Amino acid sequence: MSDLLWPGDERAGELVGPRALVDAMVRVEAAWLAALVGQGVAPGSAYDDLTHLVHDDDAAVIAERAEPSGNPVVPLVSLLRDRLESRNADAARWLHRGLTSQDVLDTALSLCLRDVLDRVSRDLYAQRDTLADLADRHRDTIMVGRTLTQPAVPITFGVKVAGWLDGLLYTSESVAGAREDLPVQLGGAAGTMAAAVELAGVDQVPGLVRATVRGLELPGASPWHGNRGRVTRTGDALVRCTDAWGRVANDVLTLSRPEIGELSEGTGGGSSTMPHKHNPVLSVLIRRAALTGPMAAAQLHLAAAEANDERPDGAWHTEWASLRDLGRRSVAAGSQTSDLLENLQVHPGRMKDNLAAALPGVLAEQRAMAELAGHELGDGTGDDPAGYLGMSSAIIDATIERAGRSR
């Protein structure tokens, strides 16, 4: 069910939703069980396909039963064992042996967040192409450059778009790095893998880990129960996305004000009482994500700073909802940004008119620089703003080239 208080939540589909998380936890249990059997630790009869053991309504049941243990893994394992017992007692007996709850939940969240980052990456790639084309198309569309809300100097809309694109390129690099740093968690009760060693022996434990890593297609890593840097890195990458998208949305919101009128959303939203309104709803919702994302990431950093002992008491638990919300909201904002950019309406005539209205003030810097350099200029009233665009075209070319190299 979509979140009534987060319009656009449905864009995230099932990502990091209850069923997705349950399915991911089952995948972890299945991969470990298969590794135990495959490495000869558990008998061949202990293998079983766990995929169809859970149903759509099980997430609610698991949630209701999670409080006594403080996490959803314990009731999930109990449910799986109950359903396995009647058809495969050996599988029920070996299920989860050598793991602890944090192993399963951390690894399941890695799987869910990998899907989130993949979805965000697809939107970023599409946005690169859209912005590169937009920057090139409007490299000569002259407009007012504004600083601290006031007219400053002439720019082109193309160089503004190149600024948006530059932010997304940096963000893409962060997402790619985080995507490769979401490993399995296989530490056992206190991060020493003692239970796995007791079951299999020291020599076989690396093989168990490798088999599980292959089964889940996640990177391997030493146990990281108390070291939450990978979690904060993922959160930070998602916030960099909402930061970059928020910057675009902020510009659209400002420039779509009727008194400016230089941009508009392709499909604006209406009002419940004012039929004349053409609200820039996508930009508003993207800005909402940009304003809330940093707080979710801050919670992840707080949890990392408060981690203690070999497994944290409470700090770890605060990560789960923060990761879910940040993941879903970032996906929704990415989808909304793609729609915004694909249908963005640019009004060069208004840009030109607003620039003309800002003359001669927007050329004051040019006159000051010309005087210092000993150049001759007129009184400013007949000067051409197109003659004071600096390296705009070169900046656009460099950014577009970088976008092409990063694809």
pTM: 0.94
Please pick, among 179, 311, 328, 329, the residue that the annotation labels catalytic: 311
254 lies in a domain?
A: yes
The answer to whether residue 273 scores a pLDDT higher than 50 is no
Please pick, among 45, 69, 222, 271, the residue that the annotation labels catalytic: 271
**Predicted pLDDT at 405:** 74
In the block, which residue shows the tokens 């350099």? 373
99-108, 119-128, 263-272, 330-339 — which is least confidently predicted?
263-272
Can you tell me the mean pLDDT for 197-213? 96
State percent of the chain over pLDDT 90. Answer: 91
Let me know if 240 is a catalytic residue. Answer: no
371 lies in a domain?
A: no
176 lies in a domain?
A: yes
| CB neighbour list of residue 353: distance below 8 Å, 6 or more residues apart | none
Q: Is the peptide bond before 360 cis (omega within 30 degrees of 0)?
A: yes
> pLDDT band for position 383 (50/70/90)?
confident
**Predicted pLDDT at 269:** 56
Virtual CA dihedral for 325, 327, 333, 334, nearest 10 degrees?
180
Instruction: Read off the pLDDT of residues 155-176 as tens digits, 9 standing for 90 and up.
Output: 999 999 999 999 999 999 999 9
| CB neighbour list of residue 382: distance below 8 Å, 6 or more residues apart | none
Instruction: Read off the pLDDT of residues 13-42 as tens digits, 9 standing for 90 and up.
Output: 999 999 999 999 999 999 999 999 999 999
What is the domain extent for residue 261? Answer: 9-350
> pLDDT band for position 278 (50/70/90)?
confident
**What is the b/e burial string over 370-406, where b = at least 16 CB atoms within 10 angstroms of the residue's CB?**
eeeeeeeeeeeeebebeebbeebeebbeebbebbeee
In the block, which residue shows the tokens 């409007």? 138
H or E segment to which residue 151 belongs: strand 150-156
Can you tell me the mean pLDDT for 344-353? 98
| CB neighbour list of residue 255: distance below 8 Å, 6 or more residues apart | 261, 262, 263
389 lies in a domain?
A: no
**Predicted pLDDT at 184:** 97
> pLDDT band for position 272 (50/70/90)?
very low
Return the higher-pLDDT residue of 383 and 284.
284
393 lies in a domain?
A: no
In the block, which residue shows the tokens 């893994």? 73
Instruction: Read off the pLDDT of residues 44-92 as tens digits, 9 standing for 90 and up.
Output: 999 999 989 999 999 999 999 999 999 999 999 999 999 999 999 999 9
4 lies in a domain?
A: no
| DSSP letters spanning 169-222 | HHHHHHHHHHHTT-------TTSS-HHHHHHH-TTTHHHHHHHHHHHHT----S
Give the CA radius of gyration of the chain. 27
Let me know if 230 is a catalytic residue. Answer: no
Q: What is the CATH number of the domain that holds 332?
A: 1.20.200.10
Domain count, the chain: 1
Can you tell me the mean pLDDT for 196-202? 96
The answer to whether residue 270 scores a pLDDT higher than 60 is no
343 lies in a domain?
A: yes
Closest CA to 344 of 127, 172, 166, 122: 127
252 lies in a domain?
A: yes
Helices (H), 264-358: 281-306, 315-342, 348-357
**Predicted pLDDT at 1:** 62
